[in-house]
Structure formats: structure tokens, C-alpha cells
């Protein structure tokens, strides 16, 4: 298929502010001290996995990434070869720099040149990291992943940017509703979730205004917000409030109207998900707007989540210092109200933005001071939630590429008897990343999803650039995959020759 042509100005626009707020699934710039500690730790881990010997305690129900033959048994050699080549190029820093320079250069104004570049990107990184350009192509990818022996499920993510007006929000609403329809038309249980970004259905500046007002009310409980619906705790005693230093003006009538429209959009998506029997997960974004995102999530969860049917899942970012405290407050509140809640647990992807913002305002960063603290917080929240879902209502998606977090969660889930049949626990990795971990978790008997963005090249290219940037260096989540895939390819070659 020919590469879709789009105006270069539009492409360049997507490299602007909005993208860095809406799409950076990982922040590659960590502090030098934290990353050096982390490199030593992770290198040891990778080496031990790539060594031939399985761990002595290995059982069928533990996470085993040592047996590459078993891990990749469902993957044909041609697919492994392609993945190996894509991951190799994605990890070459000079290649990534060159690619990013080309994409942003004036050369993209030349139609023939642009078509060639986009054609190459489409048949390499785009196909590796994205489900397809439209519903039909994405549906085929989902079917292949689910039925083709991989047994993996998909979190369908229509990749849209954050928006600033109601018209764009309405357009995005239609796209999200269509995504739910695609999910419904696919084989049962092949789509685990539909993903929605609130900044795609509510104008960004309104999210900021509502967050300001919620923060102000948190500091001054008597401050009245007449539009506020029933919700769950959004901020804790240690949540950052430096974004709102002065009493914000109340919402204007127009803003209240826009807020209502945004809320109706979300409720329409919830209703469609309920009818299609596919849950919805709301992505977490950055702290200036996250209180409003949680407000939307929790107020809709109260309306839609029922005993054994959790339609609405929120996202907790463990790299935030207040993550555990907020999680405790929300779980306590839902227990009291008798509303089950689902959570996707991630480390968080806006680290450098958050650190820069806090420092520019003269405040302490809301992100944990070291990566070890983030790891500890992630594992602690995961363990806390596993205990909760083992005993009572609620559900958990452990979205991570981190092998240690995977191992810890597998061991605990196994001890608690939380398995595939419970339907309460899902592991998730980004599509095209951490295949070994996904297969290992699947082999250990868990439900595993791939978070799959889809949409036209125009929409998805910023996402691809982030993937490329994120996967630089020896610590990237792709390192382990590349090594294990190569090991399996060598094994297959030897088996064919001898
Ligand atoms: C299925 C799925 C859904 C996701 N949804 C969201 C979402 O809704 N919102 C969102 O923000 N992100 C989301 N992410 C991205 C996620 O937050 C992470 O950026 C990404 O997964 C890397 O974290 P990891 O758990 O895989 O761990 P690792 O592979 O171990 O990566 C750890 C990374 O954490 C960073 N880090 C965190 N805290 C610190 C610190 N204190 N000091 C230094 N470095 C630190 C570093 O950049 C490091 O590379 C999602 C990821 C997946 C797989």
C-alpha cells in the first residue's frame, strides 16, 4: 500500500507542545546518578536471563525467560527475523538521530522524498509498533496476535493528540466510539480494553482550569464547586499543589457548558463499552491536568462500575511521590461505597516535563528522587492491589516492561491464587516491545495484553519518534528482547543445519 501523503506543516505541528504532553510514554532523560545505579542493576539482570541456565526455582507457573525455544514457539522465523532487524535499527542511536533529523527537516517538503521516507517508516517501525492505519487493518493484526498461537490480547488505542476545541473533541469522540465497535466485532476476549485519553475529548485548557479548581478546593475544603459530581479522592495530603498558588476564578458559564459536554462524551463512550462488554482504561497524563482526568475517571466509575462488571479503569503513575497514598485513599473510598474500581499501574512517562515544571516554579519535583524509589513504589502498589483483588472486588492491569516487577507480581499472584481464570489481573506491554516478557507471562498462565496504537501515519508518527527515542541505550526495554530473539534465531539455524 502506498504511504499516505500528508502536509508537512501538519506533521511538524505534531512535534510541538501538544505531543510532548500527550504522547511521551516514557521519558528517556533521567538524572545521571539514578540511571547509573539502574544500569548496573539491569545489566546484571539481563546477563543472568541471557545466560543459558534457568533459575533453580523455576516451575511452570513462574516467569521463565530462559527457555527461548518455548518463549518464541508461536512466532514464525520470518517474523523473528523482521523483529530482530527492526529492533536493531531502533536501538542504533545514530540511525534514530538521523531519522528524527530527516522527519523534521525541510526535505520533507519535497513530495517524492517525503513519500519515500514515509514508505520506509511504514514498512519498518510503523508496522512493528502500530496495529494499522484503519479499523480493518488493525482488526487483522489483533486477530493474528490472538489466534495465531500467541494468545495475547490487545488494548486498543486510537492514537490522537490532545485538543483545544469542542469540534476536535467531537471528532475524537466518534473515533473512540468507532474503536469500541471494532473491539466488539473482533473475536471475544481478543480486545481486553479500549484506551481513552481525556485530553482528546476535553479541551486541554479546560482540564487545566478544572484541575486548578480541584486543587484549590483540596487546600480549602469550604471552596464551593457547584458543577462537581460525586467522585473519589483525587488528591492526598502530600499531592503537589504548586500549580495553583492563587485562588482560581470560578468556571464561566461557557466553561461549565464545555465541561458538561466533555463529561457527556465520556459517558457515551462508557455506555458503548458497557453494551459491547469491553472495559475502558483512561490513560494518565501530567500533573497539571491529572486531577481533572481523575475527576472524570472516578465520577464515571461511580456511575458505571458494578459488582462483577468493571467498565472504567483509572491509571496510577508510581513515579509520583503521592501515588501510594492516593491509591490507598481511593481503594478505601470505593470499599466504603461498594463500587469496584479497576487500576492500570504504570511507572509514568512525563518525568522530565514534571521535573522541569516543578523546578521552574521553585518547587520540589513530584517524581521520586531515585529510580529505586520508583521501582519500590511500583512493586509496593502492585503488591497492595494484588492483596485487594485476591480478597475482594477490583481489578488490576500491571503495565510494565520491567522484568523484576513482572517476576515479583507473578510470585505474589501465584501465592494468592490470582490467575487467568480470575479475570482480575492483566499484564500489559506496548505492542512491539518486551515480547519475551509478554510470552513469559502468558506461559506462566496469566492474561497478557499488548497496548496497540493505531491510526494514520500522520497521527502515529509522534508516537513512533518517542518509541525510537525511548529505546536508546543499553537499558532500553528492547535490549533483552533483541538478545533473546537473536539467541532463538541462532538456535533455529543450528537446528536446521545439524
Ligand atoms: C501498557 C502500558 C500502558 C501505559 N500507559 C501509560 C499511561 O497511561 N500514562 C503514563 O504516564 N505512562 C504510561 N505507560 C508508560 C509507562 O509509564 C513507562 O513510561 C514505561 O512503561 C516504562 O516503565 P516500565 O514500568 O516499563 O519500567 P522500566 O522499563 O524499568 O523503565 C523505568 C523507567 O522509569 C523512568 N523513571 C521513573 N522514575 C524515575 C526516577 N525517579 N528516576 C529516574 N528514572 C525514573 C526511567 O525513565 C526509566 O527508564 C504505559 C506503559 C505500558 C506498557
Q: Cβ(451) to ligand 1 under 6 A?
A: yes
Q: Please give the number of the atom of ligand 1 that sits closest to the Cα of 28.
A: 47
Question: Smallest Cα–Cα separation from 448: which of 461, 459, 460, 436?
Answer: 436
Q: Which among 129, 283, 399 is the best mutation to test ligand 1's pocket, defined by most ligand atoms within 8 Å of the CB?
A: 399
- Residue having the nearest C-alpha atom to atom 8 of ligand 1: 283
Q: How far is CA 267 from CA 94, 298, 476, in A?
A: 46, 12, 38
Domain 8-497 in CATH 3.30.300.10:
no
Strands 280-282 and 447-454: unpaired
d(CA 33, ligand 1 centre) in Å: 18
Q: Which run of H or E residues covers position 136?
A: helix 135-147
> Taking Cα atoms as reference points, which of 289, 276, 82, 57 lies closest to residue 184?
276
Cell of 422: 480470575
Ligand 1 atom having least distance to the Cα of 433: 53
CB contact set of 91 (below 8 Å; sequence gap of 6+): 471, 472, 476, 478, 479, 482
Minimal-distance CA residue to ligand 1 atom 40: 371
Whether 318 is in the pocket of ligand 1, judged by its Cβ within 6 Å, is no
Q: Ligand 1: does its nearest atom lie under 6 Å from the Cβ of 283?
A: yes
For the chain, 498 residues long, give each residue's pLDDT as a single digit of tens: 333 333 333 433 333 334 333 344 443 333 333 333 333 345 555 555 555 544 444 456 688 888 899 989 888 899 899 888 888 877 777 777 787 788 778 888 888 888 888 888 888 888 889 999 987 889 999 998 887 666 899 999 998 878 999 999 999 999 999 999 999 999 988 999 999 999 999 999 999 999 999 999 999 999 999 999 999 999 999 999 999 999 999 999 999 999 999 999 999 999 999 999 999 999 999 999 999 999 999 999 999 999 879 999 999 999 999 999 999 999 999 999 999 999 999 999 999 899 999 999 999 999 999 999 999 999 999 999 999 999 889 999 999 999 999 999 999 999 998 876 668 999 999 999 999 999 999 999 999 999 999 998 878 877 777 666 666 655 566 778 888 999 999 999 988 877
> Is there an atom of ligand 1 within 6 Å of 30 CB?
yes
| Torsion over CA: 237, 241, 245, 248 (sign) | negative
Q: Is the CB of 204 under 6 A from ligand 1?
A: no
Query: Which is it for strands 191-196 and 280-282: parallel, antiparallel or unpaired?
Result: parallel
Count the helix, strand and coil residues of the chain and give each as a percent rounded to the nearest 5.
55, 10, 35
Calpha distance 270→169 (Å, rounded): 16
Domain ranges of the chain: 8-497
**Is the beta carbon of 346 within 6 A of some atom in ligand 1?**
yes
Q: How far apart are the first and last CA of the chain?
A: 39
**Ligand 1 atom 36: residue of nearest CA:** 371
Amino acid at each position: 500500500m502506498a504511504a499516505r501523503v500528508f502536509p508537512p506543516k501538519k506533521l511538524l505541528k505534531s512535534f510541538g507542545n501538544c505531543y510532548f504532553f500527550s504522547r511521551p510514554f516514557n521519558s528517556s532523560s533521567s538524572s545521571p546518578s539514578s540511571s547509573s545505579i539502574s544500569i548496573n542493576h539491569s545489566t546484571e539482570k539481563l546477563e543472568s536471563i541471557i545466560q543459558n541456565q534457568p533459575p533453580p526455582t523455576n516451575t511452570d507457573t513462574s516467569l521463565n525467560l530462559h527457555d527461548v525455544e518455548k518463549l518464541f514457539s508461536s512466532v514464525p522465523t520470518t517474523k523473528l527475523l523482521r523483529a530482530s532487524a527492526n529492533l536493531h535499527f531502533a536501538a542504533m542511536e545514530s540511525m534514530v538521530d538521523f531519522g528524527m533529523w530527516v522527519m523534521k527537516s525541510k526535505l520533507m517538503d519535497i513530495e517524492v522524498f517525503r513519500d519515500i521516507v514515509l514508505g520506509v517508516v511504514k514498512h519498518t517501525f510503523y508496522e512493528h509498533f502500530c496495529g494499522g492505519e484503519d479499523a480493518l487493518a488493525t482488526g487483522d493484526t489483533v486477530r493474528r496476535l490472538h489466534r495465531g498461537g500467541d494468545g495475547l490480547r490487545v488494548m486498543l488505542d486510537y492514537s490522537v493528540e490532545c485538543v483545544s476545541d469542542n469540534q476536535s473533541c467531537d471528532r475524537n469522540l466518534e473515533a473512540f466510539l468507532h474503536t469500541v465497535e471494532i473491539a466488539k466485532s473482533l473475536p471475544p476476549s481478543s480486545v481486553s480494553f479500549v484506551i481513552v485519553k481525556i485530553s482528546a475529548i476535553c479541551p486541554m485548557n479546560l482540564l487545566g482550569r478544572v484541575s486548578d479548581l480541584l486543587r484549590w478546593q483540596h487546600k480549602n475544603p469550604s471552596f464551593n464547586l457547584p458543577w462537581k459530581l460525586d467522585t473519589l479522592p483525587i488528591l492526598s495530603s502530600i499531592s503537589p499543589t504548586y500549580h495553583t498558588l492563587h485562588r482560581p476564578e470560578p468556571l464561566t458559564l461557557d466553561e461549565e457548558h464545555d465541561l458538561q459536554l466533555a463529561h457527556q462524551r465520556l459517558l457515551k463512550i462508557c455506555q458503548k463499552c458497557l453494551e459491547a462488554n469491553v472495559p475502558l482504561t483512561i490513560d494518565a497524563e501530567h500533573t497539571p491536568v491529572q486531577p481533572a482526568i481523575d475527576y472524570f475517571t472516578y465520577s464515571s466509575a461511580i456511575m458505571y462500575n458494578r459488582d462483577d462488571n468493571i467498565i472504567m479503569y483509572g491509571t496510577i503513575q508510581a513515579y509520583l511521590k503521592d501515588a501510594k497514598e492516593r491509591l490507598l485513599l481511593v481503594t478505601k473510598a470505593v470499599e466504603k461505597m461498594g463500587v469496584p474500581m479497576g487500576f492500570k499501574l504504570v511507572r509514568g512517562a512525563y518525568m522530565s516535563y514534571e521535573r522541569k515544571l516543578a523546578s521552574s516554579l521553585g518547587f520540589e519535583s513530584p517524581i521520586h528522587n531515585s529510580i529505586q524509589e520508583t521501582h519500590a513504589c511500583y512493586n509496593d502498589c502492585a503488591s497492595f492491589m494484588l492483596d485487594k483483588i485476591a480478597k475482594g472486588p477490583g481489578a488490576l492491569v500491571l503495565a510494565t516492561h520491567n522484568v523484576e516487577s513482572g517476576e515479583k507480581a507473578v510470585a505474589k499472584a501465584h501465592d494468592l491464587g490470582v490467575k487467568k481464570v480470575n479475570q482480575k489481573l492483566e499484564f500489559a506491554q506496548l505492542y512491539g516491545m518486551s515480547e519475551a516478557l509478554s510470552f513469559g507471562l502468558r506461559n506462566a498462565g496469566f492474561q497478557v495484553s499488548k497496548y496497540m496504537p493505531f491510526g494514520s501515519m500522520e497521527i502515529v508518527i509522534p508516537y513512533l519518534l518517542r518509541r525510537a527515542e525511548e529505546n536508546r541505550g543499553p537499558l532500553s526495554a528492547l535490549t533483552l528482547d533483541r538478545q533473546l530473539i537473536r539467541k532463538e534465531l541462532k538456535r533455529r539455524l543450528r537446528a536446521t543445519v545439524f
